[in-house]
Structure 1
Amino acid sequence: MAQASLSHFSSFFLILLLFALSLGQQTTAGHGLSIKEATIDDIQLAFKHKQLTSRQLVQFYLGEISRLNPFLKGVIEVNPDALYLADKADYERKTKAPSVSLSKLHGIPILVKDNIATKDKLNNTAGSYALLGSVVPRDAGVVTKLRKAGAIILGKASLSEWVYGRSNHTPPGWSGRGGQGVFSTDAAYVLDVIAGIDSNDLATSEASRYIPKGGYAQFLRPDGLRGKRIGIVTALFNFVGDASQTQTFEQHFNTLRKRGAVLVDNLEIAHFDEIYNASSEIIALSAEFKIYLNTYLKNLVASPVRSLADVIAFNNKNSKLEKVKEYGQGLLLEAGATNGIGNAEKAALVNLAKLSKNGFEKLVTKKRLDAVVAPSEAVSTLLAIAGSPGVVVPAGYTKDGVPFGISFGGLRGSEPKLIEIAYGFEQATKIRKPPSLKNFKI
């Protein structure tokens, strides 16, 4: 039971980024196609009509990375084989090789976070210098599926070092290697490719039974909000500290209603404060982190470090490089002090399951909700301990021009409804606008 719970409450989330550093001067490719705001469908259509090649697309993105990354620090490194892979994709389209799957992602450059293993010339470091030069035994499961679909792994995206697992004092988006980063439709296409069983990840076997026949893209419906029951948990919106944002969310609630959604307001989740105090979650995550990281490091083909203890020692030895004096490594030390899954960890896992069952899961079931709405990623704690899906889409901008989101979360297997809700909301609001770098001297 303990082992199953470990998989269930795992703290590692694989995040795929479709690259969108799209602010260049020359952003068109034949017949007026704007690369900077093009969707996957737009790009595939341009491929089909020979208005664009994968090489041209990759060259554009590499140019944008070179131009913008010194300021944005969104990319840790680029794939030296990216242009070769682009040429390969162009050749496959030209020759229409029967053994090649020309999926929606074929020839599309994609960044993966630096905690997702790629068995190529890229490093795999979770943002830490401690893992620089390590060699993984194989691609991560999602990368295997992306390559099979013909996607081009363009490089590694920045992230918070060890995925927020090093210290509570590191700024969001900072890592030793990456420095300080600046912070629907395409996502559904990616989800269709990466969803499914990974033979090296037992948790995916259970999750795969929720994959809908026909894939996820079929749920991209402009009227997806119609008839959906969406819950508003009052406590979640206490995380909104700006009055203008509160007003924005009220406007969005009206939009949801106008588009046919039924909003169920003033909801409460049992033991909400205990859930967000996160004491049980921290106990479980600390023990899991050490167990899984040690296993990962042990199985590497080559690595400067072979255990969490080695990582901690590396940081102490290279304190200036890893800025240990500024940010510390408190979470790593907490994890290092654990000793497997003992009575305290088992009790924490049981408590998390109980809190979820009697809280979020009970609320959604009792109120017959399709989803719960929340500001930005505020619902993520509830979803993490429940093993449930969620989606975040653009909601607006602060007075300083910083974007913020609105999230929707549901029970396990609710991805189709969440995609309908998120896509319906996006089509109704059209919030997102191309980012501006007017304050940067480029």
Structure 2
Amino acid sequence: MTDRSPAPAIADAPARTSPDPGDRPVTELARLLGSRALTSTDLVTACLERVTAVDPVVRAVLAVDDTARAQARAADHRHAAGHPLSPLDGIPVLVKDNIDTRGLAGTAGSRLLAGAPPDRDAKVVARLRAAGAVILGKTNLTEWGNFRSTRSIEGWSAVGGQTRNPYDPEYSPWGSSAGSAAAVAAGMAPLALGTETDGSLVCPAGVCGVAAIKPAFGTLPSAGVVPISVVQDTVGPLASRLGDAALCLAVLTGRPLPTAPAPPETVRMGLWHVPGMSPVAQDVAERAAERLRDAGAVVVPVALTLPRDMLVDGLDALCAEFRPSLERYLSSRRGAPATLEEIVAANRQDPVELGLFGQELFERCAALTDEDRALAPDRRRRSRQRARELLAAVLADHGVDVLMAATGGPAWRIDDGPDPFTRTSSTLPALAGHPNVAVPAGYTGELPLGISLFGPPLLETLLPYALLAERCCGERRTPVVLRNASLPRNPR
């Protein structure tokens, strides 16, 4: 994309504040932009300079939008005239590259979509633009949202290579919203959008030390998003602070969200130790629970087992939903393959695409019959209803308002083999279609770990508890990539 917009005239600007894209809350950046102590042009320039400085190591940004500075100048003009469009006007945002942006990337990490970019914005991107946000660029992801293979490598795509964890580039950023989480952690932008089907927002947030909101299903539109399942996929924001992610979501939905933590003396939380999860992650969740108790909250252990039939129904439904969801999307893309079978065949001819892992999930989904797909609605309905009933029952049986659990992790060392199997707490709220919020909770060595909060069906109910958990548990450290500018470049 080419920046051809003329610079608007802005007169009588006061002395400017030096921007650091990762140092200030978005609410403060918005106030500084409104007072013209900071310009969007300076903020965007600082973000682009950060991308230049650290992305050769982190490899989170797949494409930079050449119009970013023009967008910033337009925002500065609006602020100078006293007519900002929203609290996000002039704020840089990075967008996961399975979310369409007109004329820019739109690959889902696959070389098969790397030709002609999308002709129009996804609906959620159109809302960002209407709010005045600056689309800074696109972030790398686990290819096809990590639905190509059961032995995939998180944060890797054939287009973007391997995204790395800003806290230690030898370690994984998880995924599939790997680039969005890593970029925010490394201060390349104050906000990013990602997507989740099961864990793809909260898991990378947890191991990259940032906050993420997976809203309830349907909160944000999914039109223009490369799908896995149009009845489970969810778009959500990531930010260094939960309040910033909540502000972004409030602007995109047009409805206010709570900004104050719940009074700790009114809070009852259930601590779920997920069976089979890493003891290191469980220990971080236990320490978070102790901090909440010290603040006055009641935190009690809860027992919870996910029924196998619920999980089988959910996976069978997902596989049956994938092909029609994807092919409906592909029909909107110029030069893209038209069918899943075409994608499978083209991948078999491409040694880069299949050089590190296969496509057995694609092959499984392509082999399903019309009869298999006809069963998907009932399987989806059963799985969702069972998950919702389970959440409601555990909250009621233990007399708690919300559940808390380690998100998953810790991050693992990157190599050329498949990633280790890692238990998470994300599947139950994902199947239920309920919101799930991840916040930083601690560290193992230099590597962050997060906790997730979920249970209630409404984010408005959940968010004050998550804000309290962040306030009590959200220790912050500077990522190593920002402390050491001479890290070796280790491409893959």
TM class by shorter-chain length? 0.7 to 0.9
Structure-2 residue corresponding to 1:268? 304
Distance 2:220 2:52 in 1: 36
Q: Does 1:258 align with 2:294?
A: yes
Structure-2 residue corresponding to 1:296? 329
Structure-2 residue corresponding to 1:433? 477
Q: Which 5+ residue runs of structure 2 have no aligned equivalent? A: 1-14, 165-172, 174-183, 185-189, 193-210, 225-229, 236-249, 409-423
Distance 2:453 2:428 in 1: 11
Q: Does 1:334 align with 2:372?
A: no
Q: TM-score, normalised by structure 1?
A: 0.79
Structure-1 residue corresponding to 2:429? 383
- Quote how far apart the aligned CAs of 1:349 are: 2.6
Structure-1 residue corresponding to 2:317? 284
Structure-1 residue corresponding to 2:267? 228
Q: Which of 356, 359, 367 lines up with 2:387 in the alignment?
A: 356
**Alpha carbons of structure 1 residues 224 and 125: separation in structure 2 relative to 1, 3 Å:** farther
User: Is contact 2:19–2:46 with CA below 8 Å preserved after alignment?
Assistant: no
User: Is contact 2:18–2:38 with CA below 8 Å preserved after alignment?
Assistant: no
Which shifted more, 257-266 or 161-170? Answer: 257-266
- Quote how far apart the aligned CAs of 1:418 are: 2.2
User: Is contact 2:434–2:455 with CA below 8 Å preserved after alignment?
Assistant: yes
Structure-2 residue corresponding to 1:247? 283
Structure-2 residue corresponding to 1:419? 463
Q: Which of 342, 346, 353 lines up with 1:314 in the alignment?
A: 346
- Quote how far apart the aligned CAs of 1:90 are: 0.8
Percent identical: 29
Q: TM-score, normalised by structure 2?
A: 0.72
Q: Which amino acid aligns with 2:312?
A: S
Q: Which of 59, 64, 70 lines up with 1:84 in the alignment?
A: 70
Q: Does 1:156 align with 2:138?
A: yes
SS at match of 1:162: helix
Q: Does 1:370 align with 2:356?
A: no
Distance 2:153 2:284 in 1: 27
Distance 1:388 1:155 in 2: 29
**Alpha carbons of structure 1 residues 200 and 79: separation in structure 2 relative to 1, 3 Å:** closer
Distance 1:304 1:203 in 2: 23
Structure-2 residue corresponding to 1:179? 161
Q: Which amino acid aligns with 2:344?
A: I
Distance 1:190 1:94 in 2: 32
Alignment of 1:106-117 (within 5 A): 106-117=89-100
**Alpha carbons of structure 1 residues 189 and 86: separation in structure 2 relative to 1, 3 Å:** farther
**Alpha carbons of structure 1 residues 226 and 143: separation in structure 2 relative to 1, 3 Å:** farther
SS at match of 1:116: coil
Distance 1:125 1:151 in 2: 22
| Partner deviation per Cα, 1:52-104 (whole Å, 9 max, x = no partner) | 2111111111121122112111011011111111111111111234xx52x11
Count of aligned positions? 392
Q: Which 5+ residue runs of structure 1 have no aligned equivalent? A: 1-28
User: Is contact 2:302–2:394 with CA below 8 Å preserved after alignment?
Assistant: no
Q: Which amino acid aligns with 1:107?
A: G
Distance 2:452 2:326 in 1: 30
Q: Which amino acid aligns with 1:385?
A: L
Structure-2 residue corresponding to 1:16? none
Alignment of 1:103-142 (within 5 A): 103-119=86-102, 121-142=103-124
Structure-2 residue corresponding to 1:21? none
User: Is contact 1:237–1:374 with CA below 8 Å preserved after alignment?
Assistant: no
Q: Does 1:63 align with 2:63?
A: no
Distance 1:32 1:397 in 2: 30
User: Is contact 1:127–1:177 with CA below 8 Å preserved after alignment?
Assistant: yes
Structure-1 residue corresponding to 2:449? 404
Structure-1 residue corresponding to 2:58? 72
- Quote how far apart the aligned CAs of 1:385 are: 0.9
Which shifted more, 135-144 or 195-204? Answer: 195-204
- Quote how far apart the aligned CAs of 1:337 are: 1.1
